[in-house]
Structure 1
Amino acid sequence: MIDRHIEVEIATLRTEFPIVAILGPRQSGKTTLARKLFAEYDYVSLEDIDHREFAKSDPRGFLARFQSGVIFDEVQRVPDLISYLQTHVDTLREPGRIVITGSHNFLLMEQITQSLAGRVGIAKLLPFSAHEMRGLNLDLSDILFCGGYPRIYDQHIRPETFYKNYIATYIEKDIRQIKQITKMDGFLTFLRILAGRTGQELNLSSISEQCGVVHGTVREWISVLEASFLIYRLPPYHKNYNKRIVKNPKVYFTDTGLVCSLLGIRDKDQLDYHFLKGALFETFVVTELLKSNFNSGEQFGLYFWRDNHRKEIDVILESGMKQSGIEIKAGKTVRSDAFTGLEYWRSLAKADDPTTYLVYAGEESYERNGTHVVGWSSLHEQLIQTAL
């Protein structure tokens, strides 16, 4: 079993809050992790119809059965149960006695905000990071094509088979549960169009026109994907340095294997020639940063910066008073013009004494032009750990 970096954060949360919530997309490893870290607890899956009906019809009687540690898996299946947990946990003297897992951020966060404020510590679990999989000896093409969903590696499932079924089963099931979307063909068309825009500025009007649906529908579908942890919106940086800046977020899928499947990429060798190779590598790097942030309890902020002259920094990482500008290049060699954007931004932000990084698809890490050049496989050690 591959150890998850978020285990340390969850161990801390269980000492601080009566309830620990492990949220994330379906099949990201939430149940496995909960049962590993809370092995002595009772386990109740609310996917089981008997448990679900009991919890719905008599929530107080259902909760009264569990006076010691318990895991409630897939709690979004009975969202009203969360309201009853408020009074139930107040009778428990020890912290961390209830663990809930769920796949729908939208449904759960709404309930948690209203009912469990101050009583729940939240951990967000995405698929494996490259650093978590370092013992598998995968190359970059393997990781981009296969993605990070645990079942691909634990059960040796072909990526193309896994994602085909993931899209057909889990996405359609979850989407229908969050919103009453009747035209699933239209939604899946939208999903594939959005996959082709990973790493780009989110332009709802353009997507709406390409999909042939109204602007409001696209906005709703975006919120559904974000609620299911399948996409992430990277916000623009708030400092403008006396420049007019872009105010729309950029959109990234949280798993490159899913993007490859949606784009019809059927072999990792196709990646070397695919027109979205750069966007896929950028998506990989951004999601590695996002996973690290979730795993550490969201200790830093992630942004991008672009002004009206199209000067851009792919990612700005802000940790306390420290700022780091990150440029991402999919090539295996680094050209001299790759530093132009970083040097421009560094001149604007010089009062903040920022650090700059260039992440590329090569292996070596070194310093050049005042910038830390980081090979993709050293992202965790050479960037994430040093930037905090």
Structure 2
Amino acid sequence: MIPRSAANTLRRLSKGFPIVALTGPRQSGKTTLARAVFTDKAYVSLENPDEHEFAERDPRRFLERFDAGAILDEVQRCPHLLSWLQGLVDERGRMGDFILTGSAQFELISGVTQSLAGRVGRIELLPLSTGELAASRQLPTSLEDMLLRGAYPALYDRELSPGDWFPNYVATYLERDVRQLIAVRDLTQFQRFVRMCAARSGQLLNLTALGADCGISAVTAREWLSVLEASYLVVRLQPYHRNFGKRLVKTPKLYFLDVGLMAWLLGIRDAASIQTHAARGALFETFVVSELIKQRFNAGQPADLYFWRDNAGHEVDVLYETAQGLQAVEIKSGSTFASDWPDAIHKWQEFAADEALPPVIVYGGEGDYERQGCRVVGWRELQGLVL
């Protein structure tokens, strides 16, 4: 197992909450992490038909078996268990009693909110970060290899190529999660929708245009996009809400949470073609945004990342609030610093005035240095960019 940065957060939350919920996309390493951190706890998968039937038929006796607590995997399969857990953990009064994992965000989180409010510490686990890969000496040797492979643990724990793994991952996701969350009559049409979303990663989200390109209504596109979000395949980055005296774009931007999956959905099958591919910039921007979100999630924090764009075309790729002020991040896929890169971010500094911190430029080269009033960070050094 590649050591995960979220392990310390998981331990910390288990000292302050009787229940810890570990959510994330399928195959992101949730079960492996939970079992590695809580080696003394019993493990039960609720996808096991016998265990699932037992939990459905007699939830009280099912839970009372676990005197020392347990890891309950894919707990969204038995949402009514959460109500029984409430009474049990209140009676025991122990911290870190049960660890819940789940892949379907809507079902699990809605159940937690309704039944276990105030009793659950929550952490979201995405695929591996560049910091985790670097620490285990498995970071790909080139940026193009990183963008092609992505960060799902299976592609680093086993001898698998992206071309072998991603088709099966997508097929399994469509067959299992989609059918559970919504009634899709035509899975082929839904798969086309997923590919069209990949083609729009890093762009402003227009649901009407997206639906039209897939032959569905904007309402259906919104519903299907919510399923992708619930399964941790995509995220919507919201525009920053402060005006700074300019009229702002109010439409969110869409991003995939794993760049390798995005590349495969775009039909990219080898690293060499990424160098000249029309989507190279979008792939790199998607990669960086997902890395920034991973940093937040691994620390047990909400993403709280935004972008900024006004109606005159001025834009900052990522913006987030800190105790010291507003941090702006510009993303450039080029491997050599260009003198005009800071122009847009300096323009934003004029609007933000004293609230703006020294900006950061993340680029497709290597190194960590200062240039033209900006901190310039290469893709390999992303783990050193503490949010």
TM-score bin, normalised by smaller chain: over 0.9
Distance in 1, Cα, partners of 2:186 & 2:348? 45
Residues 207-232 of structure 1 show CA distances to partners (whole Å, capped at 9, x for unaligned) of 01111101100000010000001001
* Alignment of structure 1 residues 235-250 onto 2, 5 Å: 235-250=238-253
Residues 116-146 of structure 1 show CA distances to partners (whole Å, capped at 9, x for unaligned) of 0000100100000111101114121121111
Q: Any idea what SS the aligned residue of 1:373 has?
A: strand
Counterpart of 1:165 in structure 2 is 168
Counterpart of 2:19 in structure 1 is 19
Distance in 2, Cα, partners of 1:297 & 1:137? 24
Q: Any idea what SS the aligned residue of 2:91 has?
A: coil
Please give the root-mean-square deviation of Cα atoms over the aligned residues, in Å.
1.1
Distance in 2, Cα, partners of 1:137 & 1:327? 23
Counterpart of 1:101 in structure 2 is 101
Q: Which moves more between the two structures, 280-289 or 133-142?
A: 133-142
Deviation of the 1:69 alpha carbon: 2.1
Q: Aligned match of 1:320 in 312, 320, 323? A: 323
Counterpart of 1:277 in structure 2 is 280
Letter in 2 for 1:90: D
Structure 1 residues 299 and 212, CA gap change in structure 2 (3 angstroms): closer
Kept in 2, the 8 Å contact 1:104–1:227? The answer is yes
Counterpart of 2:138 in structure 1 is 136
Q: Which moves more between the two structures, 49-58 or 316-325?
A: 316-325
With structure 2 as the length reference, what TM-score do the two structures score?
0.97
Deviation of the 1:299 alpha carbon: 6.2
Residues 34-61 of structure 1 show CA distances to partners (whole Å, capped at 9, x for unaligned) of 1000011001011100000111111112
Distance in 2, Cα, partners of 1:370 & 1:114? 48
Counterpart of 2:64 in structure 1 is 64
Q: Check if 1:348 corresponds to 2:351.
A: yes
Deviation of the 1:300 alpha carbon: 6.3
Counterpart of 2:295 in structure 1 is 292
Q: Any idea what SS the aligned residue of 2:263 has?
A: helix
Kept in 2, the 8 Å contact 1:201–1:250? The answer is yes
Q: Any idea what SS the aligned residue of 1:136 has?
A: coil
Counterpart of 2:373 in structure 1 is 370
Q: Which runs of 5+ in 1 are unaligned?
A: none
- Count of aligned positions: 384
Letter in 2 for 1:155: R
Letter in 1 for 2:44: V
Distance in 2, Cα, partners of 1:350 & 1:300? 24
Letter in 1 for 2:280: K
Counterpart of 1:9 in structure 2 is 9
Q: Aligned match of 1:357 in 360, 370, 375? A: 360
Counterpart of 1:33 in structure 2 is 33
Kept in 2, the 8 Å contact 1:300–1:320? The answer is no
Q: Any idea what SS the aligned residue of 2:130 has?
A: coil
Letter in 1 for 2:97: R
Letter in 2 for 1:88: L
Letter in 2 for 1:119: R
Q: Any idea what SS the aligned residue of 1:239 has?
A: coil
Kept in 2, the 8 Å contact 1:46–1:72? The answer is yes
Kept in 2, the 8 Å contact 1:299–1:319? The answer is no
Distance in 1, Cα, partners of 2:18 & 2:6? 18
Distance in 2, Cα, partners of 1:337 & 1:79? 53
Structure 1 residues 33 and 330, CA gap change in structure 2 (3 angstroms): same
Structure 1 residues 259 and 320, CA gap change in structure 2 (3 angstroms): same
With structure 1 as the length reference, what TM-score do the two structures score?
0.97
Deviation of the 1:340 alpha carbon: 1.0
Q: Which moves more between the two structures, 51-60 or 296-305?
A: 296-305
Distance in 1, Cα, partners of 2:145 & 2:320? 27
Counterpart of 1:119 in structure 2 is 119
Deviation of the 1:336 alpha carbon: 1.5
Deviation of the 1:361 alpha carbon: 0.3
Distance in 2, Cα, partners of 1:119 & 1:84? 13
Q: Any idea what SS the aligned residue of 2:370 has?
A: strand
Structure 1 residues 35 and 359, CA gap change in structure 2 (3 angstroms): same
Deviation of the 1:365 alpha carbon: 2.2
Q: Check if 1:221 corresponds to 2:224.
A: yes
Distance in 2, Cα, partners of 1:34 & 1:145? 28
Letter in 2 for 1:279: A
Counterpart of 2:260 in structure 1 is 257
Consecutive aligned runs of 4 or more in structure 1 exceeding 6 Å deviation: none
Counterpart of 1:54 in structure 2 is 54
Kept in 2, the 8 Å contact 1:175–1:181? The answer is yes
Deviation of the 1:250 alpha carbon: 0.6
Q: Which moves more between the two structures, 30-39 or 178-187?
A: 178-187
Q: Which runs of 5+ in 2 are unaligned?
A: none
Distance in 1, Cα, partners of 2:155 & 2:379? 22
Counterpart of 1:150 in structure 2 is 153
Letter in 1 for 2:335: K
Deviation of the 1:321 alpha carbon: 4.1
Distance in 2, Cα, partners of 1:319 & 1:184? 43
Kept in 2, the 8 Å contact 1:67–1:92? The answer is no
Q: Any idea what SS the aligned residue of 1:91 has?
A: helix
Percent of paired sites with the same residue:
48
Distance in 2, Cα, partners of 1:321 & 1:375? 24
Deviation of the 1:93 alpha carbon: 2.6
Q: Any idea what SS the aligned residue of 1:16 has?
A: coil
Deviation of the 1:301 alpha carbon: 2.5
Deviation of the 1:353 alpha carbon: 3.6
Distance in 2, Cα, partners of 1:351 & 1:155? 50
Structure 1 residues 202 and 242, CA gap change in structure 2 (3 angstroms): same
Kept in 2, the 8 Å contact 1:301–1:319? The answer is no
Letter in 2 for 1:226: E
